[in-house]
Amino acid sequence: MTRDRDDNETTKRTLASRGPADPDPHAACVVVIHGAGLGRRVDVADAAVMIGRSHEADLQINHPSVSRRHCQLWKEGSGYRIRDLGATNPTRINDQAIDESELGDGDHVTVGESVLKFISDSSLEASYHEEVYQLATLDALTELHNRRHFVEMLERELSRSQRHLRPLTLAIVDLDHFK
């Protein structure tokens, strides 16, 4: 007598995943998730990071609702802190206006009309945002940086050049009129 095997009679064993065996160490970062500067990201490492409309800002958000020097983030001990720098539209953490506050993983930082997400250095989410950013700035066919990346880097380098009063040279090479 033959018996048909039913899938319901088979038990599959699944091992619980504990994530990557050795996750890449990432610096904590803030990512613009809504409003002007969408997708832009800046790492918060050893040096303080200033966010604002000014060319001197480490994360420049060019929008009238953002003050020139809006807020500053820095690492303190094993945590991270943020301070409002007297902005016209106060810096908000999870919809609460702050003067100075500790930042936690996943906190939403409102700067003018833009919303940023703080991702701590222990979070795997930083890898996700890095991958999404790579998909948005690399051409799928050539795997070279696209126009969006070029414009973003040009703005960043022009800002740095103006901030440090240093000259900037730009060379553009068109190889065989490849578009």
Burial of 135 (0-12, 13-18, 19+ CB in 10 A): exposed
Q: Considering the domain boundaries, does residue 96 fall inside one?
A: yes
Q: Considering the domain boundaries, does residue 44 fall inside one?
A: yes
Strands 49-52 and 71-76: antiparallel
Strands 92-93 and 96-97: antiparallel
Domain count, the chain: 1
Q: Considering the domain boundaries, does residue 101 fall inside one?
A: yes
pLDDT at 100: 97
Task: Please give the single-letter amino acid code of residue 73.
Answer: L
**Domain residues for 82?**
28-163
3-class SS of residue 87: coil
Whole-model pTM: value is 0.66
Write the CATH number for 112.
2.60.200.20
* DSSP 8-state symbol, 7: G
Q: Considering the domain boundaries, does residue 126 fall inside one?
A: yes
| Dihedrals phi, psi of 94, to nearest 5 degrees | 50, 45
Q: Considering the domain boundaries, does residue 108 fall inside one?
A: yes
CB under 8 A, 24+ apart: contacts of 158-164: 159/55, 159/56, 159/57, 159/60, 162/55, 163/55, 163/56
Each of the 179 residues of the chain gets a pLDDT tens digit; together they read: 555 555 566 666 655 544 444 434 567 899 999 998 888 888 898 889 999 999 889 999 989 999 999 999 999 998 999 999 999 999 999 999 999 999 999 999 999 999 999 998 777 777 777 777 778 788 888 888 888 888 888 888 888 888 888 999 988 877 766 65
Q: Considering the domain boundaries, does residue 9 fall inside one?
A: no
Q: Considering the domain boundaries, does residue 35 fall inside one?
A: yes
Strands 49-52 and 41-44: unpaired
Q: Considering the domain boundaries, does residue 20 fall inside one?
A: no
